[in-house]
Amino acid sequence: MRKFVLTLLLVCAAWGASAQRPRTMVEWGVIGGINVPDYTTNMDATDIRNKLGWQAGIVTAVKLGIIAVEPQILYVRQGLRIRPDGAGELNLKSNSIDVPVLASFRLLSPLRIYAGPVFTVMNDCKLKTGGDLLDFGRIRPSLSYTVGAGVVLLRHLLIDVRYNGQFRSKHDVVLPDGRELDKLRTYNVALSVGYIF
């Protein structure tokens, strides 16, 4: 009888300890939206006009109480029209695969605030002439950052706003006509809507 009571007490103590620990939960979903890029360069005679872009991808989160780790995979399309000094206008498009790894703080449900690094693992640039897109260069993998906030409505609908920036500008970017841009830098503000399963 003493062994039975002792075993029962140990089981109850273990159950109580596990109930007090925050549960690890995994969520995932899909997201898509628009981004407003801002390309700049330190070359005063170069005229840059930014174009509305878009992004779409898969979001995941490992929830650890009020904090979550959110690795994501996003396809990002951005574009600009650029007129270097003494040259005609070029219509450029940039396609990239971005992998944000965010720390998400969820102190007040349904609000979440996050920040973290963004790894751009693939980025190719194309020149649009007529109806054709000509590949003219690839940019090496890079590291940038994002900060933002989101809100989950009706337990599944995610509305997300982010500011994406670069740590360093890109030096000596070669345009399709052979000209070089110095210190090309881009920021963007992204507004997305997603569904969390």
pLDDT digits (tens, 9 = 90+) for 7-26: 655 555 555 554 444 556 99
User: Is the pLDDT confidence value at 158 over 60?
Assistant: yes
Domains of the chain (ranges; CATH) run: 23-196 (2.40.160.20)
- For residue 41, the model assigns a pLDDT of 80
Spatial neighbors of 125 by CB under 8 A, at least 6 apart, are: 92, 93, 94, 135, 136, 137, 138, 139
pLDDT averaged over the chain?
Answer: 83
pTM of the predicted model over 0.75:
yes
User: Is the pLDDT confidence value at 1 over 60?
Assistant: no
Amino acid at 85: D
More reliable by pLDDT, 16 or 190? 190
Measure the N-to-C terminal CA separation of the chain; round to a whole number of Å: 48
Q: What does DSSP say about strands 173-174 and 180-181: parallel, antiparallel, or unpaired?
A: antiparallel
CB-count burial class (<10 Å; 0-12, 13-18, 19+) for 23: exposed
Place of tokens 């360069």: 41
Q: For residues 56-75, give the mean pLDDT.
A: 96
- For residue 121, the model assigns a pLDDT of 87
pLDDT digits (tens, 9 = 90+) for 73-98: 999 999 888 887 767 788 888 899 99
